[in-house]
Amino acid sequence: MCVVCMWQILKKHSTNPEEVDVDIFSLACGPDLRVRKYSSCIVNGVRFNTVNRDKNKKTLNSGVMSQATHNGQLIDFFGNIKEIIQLDYNLEERSVVLFECDWFKLDGKRTALKDDGFFKSINVGSLWYKNDCFILATHATKVFYLPDTKLGENWQVVQTFDHRHLYNVSQMEVSAAAYQEDECYDEEDPRRPVSSIIYDTPLNRDDERGPVFEAAEIARLMKESSKEVNVIGDEDEDEEDDTLMEYFNEEDDSVMEVDSDDE
């Protein structure tokens, strides 16, 4: 928001406060100069860490991807999270979480993005957009970087993934109007059905004869069911997965959760 727009909103709020939205007025006032920093953040169920927190860790969660324009074209930016910052505004429960990132350069003869149709490889030795390094936490997508054995040093293969607990469900229009059926039972006497519909077709079938078993066969089945059966389970079932335990037993002293509805 430009300075002129902020001044006009504040001026209009002083004369006609009912015509100015409270969220717009809160943004025009600017955030609190006291900011909060975190080393880890959970956005819609996905964990993001700073680069310093990921050092000497088995799991890496600092790689991010975000779409933005470069030379008039919409491209994917790849980088790492340096800082996680929360800005608080004067309105109650109004805050914005930002990611300060190092963006890897994707153009040039030596640093251009390599895409062979199967893998995307980027050069992590050069950075760009150092003065435009902030994005909203809800606009970030987590990625992983793997060493590129073909191009060698400073080249990393970008590995995207879909979170196991998040699903991209396509929206579909429903033409039929929604309805709700009436109550099936009377409130005064719940044992008495309200509906007066009488079905001609019986619920049980009387046109076919059921199966017939001999008495000796029934006695044999009852004798077999009374025998004690011992099942030997797999010995590996008692072993615990230490990888998942280590992931949740990390020192999460500065972890926050962010929902897309909060921003």
DSSP string covering 42-86: EETTEEEE-HHHHTT-SS---EEEEEEEETTEEEEEEEEEEEEEE
Quote the CA–CA distance of 253 and 54 in Å, as a whole number.
Answer: 14
**What pLDDT score was predicted for residue 248?**
45
Query: Each residue of 194-231: pLDDT tens digit?
Result: 555 555 666 666 666 667 777 788 788 777 766 544 44
10 Å CB burial of residue 250 (0-12, 13-18, 19+) is middle
Q: Report the mean per-residue pLDDT for the chain.
A: 76
pLDDT at residue 77 is higher than 90: yes
Residues 156 and 144 sit within 8 Å (Cβ to Cβ): no
CA 174 to mean position of chain CA atoms: 26
Where b means 16+ CB within 10 Å and e means fewer, 86-106 reads bbbbeeeebbbbbbebbbbbb
**Quick one: what percent of the chain has pLDDT higher than 90?**
35
Tracing tokens 């943004």 back to the chain, one arrives at: 27
What is the pTM assigned to this prediction? 0.60
**What pLDDT score was predicted for residue 39?**
94
Work out the average pLDDT over 4-27. Answer: 72
Which residues does 138 contact at the CB level (< 8 Å), separation at least 6?
43, 44, 97, 258, 260, 263
Query: Each residue of 113-150: pLDDT tens digit?
Result: 999 888 999 999 999 999 999 999 999 999 999 999 88
